[in-house]
Amino acid sequence: MIERWGGVRGKTIAFVGDGNNVAASLAHAVAMLGGTVVVASPRGYELPERVRRDVAAVARFKGGVRVTNDPLDAVSRAQAVYTDVWTSMGQEGEAAERRRIFQPYQVNAALMAQAPKDALFMHCLPAHRGDEVTDEVMDSPASVVFDQSENRLHSQKALLALLATS
């Protein structure tokens, strides 16, 4: 996001899907930099209240987090739409049920059409194409998922170099 916009201050990022660790980390980082994350999840899968309080405590420059059950509401004013897998490691036994529950939260062309026309699509990978995101969105000009992945690679290499010299 910083690479594309120069910063996230004043930006709105929609996270559509499970209010999991990825949503929590995104909310913390964006709020600390002055942006807002709107997390859209099915009832019972929202970002925990404890995380919302923690995000509010570290938010700067009017940044923060908002929770909704409506993915259209989340993306309507978002400069980026972010999602993650519906079933995380250790939840494999819930995969079929989660697929049913989260289907209305799929990031597809219809959902992206509700976001501003220049909104980015983000995913931390690996993605389950056809579940949380469609091929059409994943391979679209709005998608920055491979830039995201490349940036993470460089961050991980820098961390390894730091640890190796400690």
Q: Supply the CATH number for residue 13's domain.
A: 3.40.50.1370
SS (H, E, C) 89-147: CCCHHHHHHHHHHHHHHCECHHHHCCCCCCCEEEECCCCCECCCECHHHHCCCCECHHH
The range of the structural domain enclosing residue 38 comes to: 2-165
- Give the residue ranges of the chain where pLDDT is below 50: none
pLDDT of residue 43: 98
Q: What are phi and psi of 81, to 5 degrees?
A: -120, 120
pLDDT of residue 112: 98
The total number of structural domains that make up the chain: 1
Helices 49-58 and 21-32 cross at an angle (nearest 10°) of 20
